[in-house]
């Protein structure tokens, strides 16, 4: 180990075994006043080591910083789409973050009161699964062995250990979040809001309870949401692994068997891909016009394994041309059959418990074999053949999803969905880019009620109580009331049913709410809704919601609906949806492809071995690890070079055209690290040119300077327009071109004596401020070394200087453009388009290169 001390403004680092640790940040504040010579070469590690804690300590990221009545130019408020507390950020999040931070910094520099609010969500299923696995691995215990309360404590312990990783990553990315306002969806303040939201919506009847088919994971013992159902396509017979089964289970086959008609020798043949469900059959359906079955009207069929007589129903939904035209109906275990069951008033017979076991304790896929065997023995089995099909798989547990009939809580989305669609139709809510509008309307106009019950332990327990009234005159006696506490629920029930409270017994629902329920109210729960307070008044509704287009519905739509419902206001005015990041080959990021990259690895660099080692910590199976290793080897044969945060952010913004997906190539990020080198060297060179005794003052311009100032002004115009239109490549291109092709290639290479110092200073100072939202670290480092126009009242940090404005860069654009146009036509006239031409203009010599002519 060695202690490395530099007298520069910021670097006090302890280099230890390749790890650099920043020490004693109070010490740095003393040092920040020290102007030291600019180091010889650009090093992201050096530049990015210590500014962040200083920014944070100084409170630059707080909306309260520097606010006074004269200078506030409106409010910019945005909340982070809360990442999942169990997770860690990958490059997709880094993109979200680069965009959000540069927007936030731009608004802040424009003098707006700016708040970017951080937070995390508790990711119910994901977190519970992770902790359950850990518990099983380390102690051989299930959550049931531990009990609900102890298990929840275990999750909290784990959250407190791991939950900081994301915040650490966000800080390393330079995110200008107000950390004092960080919120976790299970904080008391936010939990209170969740409870209140549920109670209000339940009292209003928007939340109701209903028994319907849900997508059930027998492994998780919980209903799962639509997005957690993966559709596995099979082309024919396939053996799939299923959790809890030693042998693989057969899917993708269609089994035909017959039902005997009651009181006749005749039989009807039906077919199914899930033969075990025939145990729950309660009818056979045929098409009303099918000539083959007209004589069976009013007849019954017999169940071979019990004395169940089942009607033959006539229903239009049956496809006459498929198979025999007769289908078995299992209302309690199939989505289509459920509806047939409702229409024809059929019995709903449930054959599975929550663990996927039959009444006799047999596992459901063992029953698949047993039923087949029993049918064969009775001579009712007909044939078995390949059948291409889609198998629903739970993305969390990899179990096969079973539709199960369960009473659950639902949110009636009819009215809320309509309001959310209207808000966009009437232009009150803007969705950018507008090619997402179609999806928005399509979803809102066909919205289905939202199942919010989850049979988990980790999450917000549903504040609803099942009451029993000990009153002999009460015939029904089973009701649900919601309440902030058991006492409140009791009183509510007593009032509603006009009995005394002591006659009522309560049992709170065991379930918790879907995580999206709490994320849906995040834009106002973070400000303490429903309690009136200043933050809620000032910062709600927010300005913008920014996120990847893939979660438009699951989250954005819900925030809009819940915001309108509970606060009567849209939670934000604009939604900007950026593209999804894919790898350089255009593939989705996935752990098993080895292309999920931690942004910190791009920032600091990592060897191929280092990447491999990370796979060992993941929960991939050995085969997948091998595959992922191969992927890493072919994509990063030499690992990933150190690129630094600034280059990473700049590259991500440069990629973000408003198309759908981004194919990210790490080499391009490296390219922007070279840009940082150039920037560094240019400023170093320019500062030498300015000399030690240079004092910036009001500008004096020569004609040549008008040119560079006009280029600067154009860049400023493009950047502001780019930020307004969410055109990030427009911004990066303007800045890149100005610094590289105009300032470095043209202006700085001119003879030293022709350089007007004040103009050069303006270019550096304005150019750095222009770039600051995208590259906050290197611009701060360089800005701190520039002499100041008004040292006493200049802002202490570049992140709180005003963003450049076209007016500020006083230029005579038209004059310069006339000169350029004249010279261009002269060159054309004299056939000089291929050569570099010196032009004499009044008394001054200017070099024009063909680049900008
Ligand atoms: C949350 O993070 C875990 C662990 O990284 C991941 O498996 C899961 O998919 C994430 N959940 C969501 C909702 O993003
Ligand atoms: C179950 O999942 C399927 C597949 O994603 C979906 O189409 C269906 O709507 C889901 N059912 C319920 C009740 O959520
Ligand atoms: C949902 O709300 C709509 C409109 O208020 C109403 O017509 C519908 O019956 C409700 N649905 C349920 C299941 O309560
Ligand atoms: C409530 O019950 C009491 C007697 O238990 C009866 O006098 C009263 O009229 C009832 N009120 C209503 C609103 O039914
Ligand atoms: C300009 O150059 C091109 C080819 O180099 C030639 O064809 C053309 O005649 C020239 N024009 C004049 C005005 O010299």
The answer to whether the beta carbons of residues 326 and 288 sit under 8 Å apart is no
Residue 35 pLDDT > 70: no
Give the residue, by CA position, lying nearest to ligand 1 atom 8.
126
Asked whether residue 69 is domain-assigned, the answer is no
- Please tell me whether residues 745 and 691 are part of one structural domain: yes
Centre of ligand 2 from the C-alpha of residue 408, in Å:
14
- What was the pLDDT predicted at 818? 66
Residue 737 CB–ligand 1 contact under 6 Å? no
| CATH code for the domain of 311 | 3.90.740.10
- What was the pLDDT predicted at 14? 33
Name the nearest CA neighbour of 171 among 58, 84, 89.
Answer: 89
Centre of ligand 3 from the C-alpha of residue 414, in Å:
6
Centre of ligand 2 from the C-alpha of residue 394, in Å:
11
CB atoms < 10 A from the CB of 476, how many? 7
Structural domain that includes position 603: 582-642
Name the nearest CA neighbour of 516 among 579, 441, 453.
Answer: 453
Reported confidence tier of residue 541, pLDDT bands at 50, 70, 90? very high
The answer to whether the beta carbons of residues 676 and 644 sit under 8 Å apart is yes
**In this structure, what token pair is assigned to residue 349?**
């017979």
Give the residue, by CA position, lying nearest to ligand 3 atom 11.
412
The answer to whether the beta carbons of residues 734 and 715 sit under 8 Å apart is yes
Residue 415 CB–ligand 3 contact under 6 Å? yes
Name the domain count of the chain: 4
Asked whether residue 467 is domain-assigned, the answer is no
Residue 571 pLDDT > 60: yes
Residue 448 CB–ligand 3 contact under 6 Å? no
Q: From CA 22, how far away is CA 15, in angstroms rounded?
A: 9
Asked whether residue 83 is domain-assigned, the answer is no
Residue 208 CB–ligand 3 contact under 6 Å? yes
Asked whether residue 181 is domain-assigned, the answer is no
- What was the pLDDT predicted at 849? 37
Centre of ligand 1 from the C-alpha of residue 225, in Å:
14
Reported confidence tier of residue 3, pLDDT bands at 50, 70, 90? very low
- What was the pLDDT predicted at 70? 55
Asked whether residue 533 is domain-assigned, the answer is no
- What was the pLDDT predicted at 426? 96
- What was the pLDDT predicted at 696? 80
Q: From CA 667, how far away is CA 567, in angstroms rounded?
A: 47
- Please tell me whether residues 704 and 836 are part of one structural domain: yes
Residue 543 CB–ligand 1 contact under 6 Å? no
Residue 8 CB–ligand 1 contact under 6 Å? no
Centre of ligand 5 from the C-alpha of residue 745, in Å:
30
Domain stops at, among 364, 387, 410: 387
Give the residue, by CA position, lying nearest to ligand 2 atom 1.
215
Centre of ligand 3 from the C-alpha of residue 442, in Å:
19
Ligand nearest to the CA of 497: 4
Residue 419 CB–ligand 3 contact under 6 Å? no
- What was the pLDDT predicted at 537? 93
Ligand nearest to the CA of 449: 3
Residue 805 CB–ligand 3 contact under 6 Å? no
Residue 88 CB–ligand 3 contact under 6 Å? no
Give the residue, by CA position, lying nearest to ligand 3 atom 14.
412
Centre of ligand 5 from the C-alpha of residue 828, in Å:
10
- Please tell me whether residues 828 and 715 are part of one structural domain: yes
- Please tell me whether residues 777 and 633 are part of one structural domain: no
| CATH code for the domain of 751 | 1.10.730.10
Residue 9 pLDDT > 70: no
- Please tell me whether residues 617 and 724 are part of one structural domain: no
pLDDT digits (tens, 9 = 90+) for 790-823: 666 678 999 999 999 887 665 445 555 666 777 7
Given ligand 1 and candidates 85, 96, 123, which is best to mutate, with the most ligand atoms within 8 Å of its CB? 123
Residue 525 pLDDT > 90: yes
- Is residue 673 helix, strand or coil? helix
- What was the pLDDT predicted at 10? 34
- Please tell me whether residues 381 and 257 are part of one structural domain: yes
- Please tell me whether residues 846 and 706 are part of one structural domain: yes
Q: Mean pLDDT score of the chain, rounded to an integer?
A: 86
Q: From CA 301, how far away is CA 293, in angstroms rounded?
A: 13
pTM for this predicted structure:
0.82
Ligand nearest to the CA of 473: 4
- What was the pLDDT predicted at 754? 55
Give the residue, by CA position, lying nearest to ligand 1 atom 14.
84
- Please tell me whether residues 594 and 740 are part of one structural domain: no
State what percent of residues in the chain have pLDDT above 70.
88
What mean pLDDT do residues 249-261 have? 95
CB atoms < 10 A from the CB of 382, how many? 15
Reported confidence tier of residue 1, pLDDT bands at 50, 70, 90? very low
What mean pLDDT do residues 703-715 have? 79
Reported confidence tier of residue 702, pLDDT bands at 50, 70, 90? low
């Amino acid at each position: 180990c060695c202690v490395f001390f530099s007298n520069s403004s910021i670097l006090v680092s302890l280099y230890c075994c390749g790890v650099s640790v920043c020490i004693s940040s109070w010490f740095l504040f003393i040092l920040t006043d020290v102007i030291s010579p600019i180091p010889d070469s650009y090093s992201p590690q050096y530049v990015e080591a210590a500014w962040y804690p200083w920014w944070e300590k100084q409170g630059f990221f707080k909306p309260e910083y520097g606010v006074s009545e004269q200078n506030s130019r409106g409010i910019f408020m945005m909340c982070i789409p809360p990442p999942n507390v169990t997770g860690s950020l990958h490059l997709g999040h880094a993109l979200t973050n680069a965009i959000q931070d540069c927007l936030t910094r731009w608004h802040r520099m424009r003098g707006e009161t700016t708040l970017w609010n951080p937070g995390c969500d508790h990711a119910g299923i994901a977190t519970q699964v992770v902790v359950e696995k850990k518990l099983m691995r380390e102690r051989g215990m299930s959550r049931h062995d531990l009990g609900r309360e102890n298990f929840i404590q275990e999750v909290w312990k784990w959250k407190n250990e791991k939950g900081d990783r994301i915040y650490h990553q966000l800080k390393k990315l330079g995110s200008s979040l107000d950390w004092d306002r960080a919120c976790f969806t299970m904080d008391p303040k936010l939990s209170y809001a969740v409870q209140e939201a549920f109670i209000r919506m339940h009292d209003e009847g928007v939340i109701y309870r209903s028994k319907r088919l849900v997508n059930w994971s027998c492994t998780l013992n919980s209903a799962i949401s639509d997005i957690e159902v993966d559709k596995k396509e099979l082309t024919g017979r396939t053996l799939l692994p299923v959790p809890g089964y030693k042998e693989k289970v057969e899917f993708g086959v269609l089994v035909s068997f017959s039902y005997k008609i009651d009181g006749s020798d005749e039989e009807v043949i039906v077919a199914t891909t899930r033969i075990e469900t025939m145990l729950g059959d309660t009818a056979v359906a045929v098409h009303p016009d099918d000539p083959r079955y007209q004589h069976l009207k009013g007849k019954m069929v017999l169940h071979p394994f019990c004395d169940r007589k089942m009607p033959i129903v006539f229903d239009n939904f049956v496809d006459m041309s498929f198979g025999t035209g007769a289908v078995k109906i299992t209302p309690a275990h199939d989505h289509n059959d459920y509806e047939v069951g409702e229409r024809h008033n059929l019995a709903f017979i449930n054959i599975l418990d929550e663990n996927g076991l039959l009444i006799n304790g047999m596992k459901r896929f063992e029953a698949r074999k047993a039923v087949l065997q029993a049918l064969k023995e009775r001579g009712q089995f007909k044939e078995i053949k390949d059948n291409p099909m889609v198998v629903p798989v739970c993305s969390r547990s990899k179990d096969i999803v079973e539709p199960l009939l369960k009473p659950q809580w639902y949110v009636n989305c009819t009215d809320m969905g309509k309001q959310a669609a209207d808000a966009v139709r009437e232009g009150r809510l803007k969705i950018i880019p507008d090619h997402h509008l179609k999806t928005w309307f399509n979803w809102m106009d066909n919205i289905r009620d939202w199942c919010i019950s989850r049979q988990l332990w980790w999450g917000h327990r549903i504040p609803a109580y099942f009451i029993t009234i000990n009153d002999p005159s009460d015939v029904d006696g089973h009701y649900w009331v919601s309440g902030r506490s058991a006492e409140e629920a009791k009183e509510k029930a007593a009032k509603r049913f006009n009995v005394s409270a002591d006659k009522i017994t309560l049992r709170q629902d065991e379930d918790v709410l879907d995580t999206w329920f709490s994320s849906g109210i995040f834009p106002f729960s973070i400000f303490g809704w429903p309690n009136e307070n200043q933050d809620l008044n000032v910062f709600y509704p927010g300005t913008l919601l920014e996120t990847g287009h893939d979660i438009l519905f699951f989250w954005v739509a819900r925030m809009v609906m819940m915001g309108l419902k509970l606060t009567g206001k849209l939670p934000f005015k604009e939604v900007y949806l950026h593209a999804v990041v894919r790898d350089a080959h255009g593939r989705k990021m996935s752990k098993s492809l080895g292309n999920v990259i931690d942004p910190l690895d791009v920032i600091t660099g990592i060897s191929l071995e280092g990447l491999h080692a990370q796979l060992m910590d993941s929960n991939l199976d050995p085969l997948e690890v091998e595959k992922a290793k191969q992927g890493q080897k072919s994509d990063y044969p030499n690992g990933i070079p150190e690129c630094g945060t600034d280059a990473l952010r700049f590259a991500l913004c440069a990629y973000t055209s408003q198309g759908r997906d981004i194919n990210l190539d790490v080499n391009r990020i490296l390219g922007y690290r070279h840009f940082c080198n150039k920037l560094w060297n240019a400023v170093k060179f320019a500062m030498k040119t300015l000399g030690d005794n240079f004092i910036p003052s009001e500008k004096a311009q020569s004609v040549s300077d008008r040119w560079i100032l006009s280029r600067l002004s154009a860049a400023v115009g493009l950047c502001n327009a780019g930020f307004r239109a969410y055109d990030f490549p427009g911004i990066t291109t303007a800045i890149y071109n100005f610094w590289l092709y105009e300032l470095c290639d043209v202006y700085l290479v001119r003879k030293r004596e022709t350089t007007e110092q004040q103009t050069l200073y303006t270019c550096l100072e304005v150019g750095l401020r222009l770039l600051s939202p995208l590259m906050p670290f290197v611009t701060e480092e360089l800005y701190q070394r520039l002499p100041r126009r008004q040292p006493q009242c200049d802002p202490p940090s570049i992140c709180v200087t005003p963003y450049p404005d076209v007016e500020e860069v006083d230029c005579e654009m038209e004059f310069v453009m006339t000169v350029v146009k004249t010279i261009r036509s002269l060159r054309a006239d004299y056939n000089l388009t291929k050569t570099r031409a010196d032009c004499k203009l009044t008394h001054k010599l200017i070099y024009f290169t063909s680049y900008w002519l």
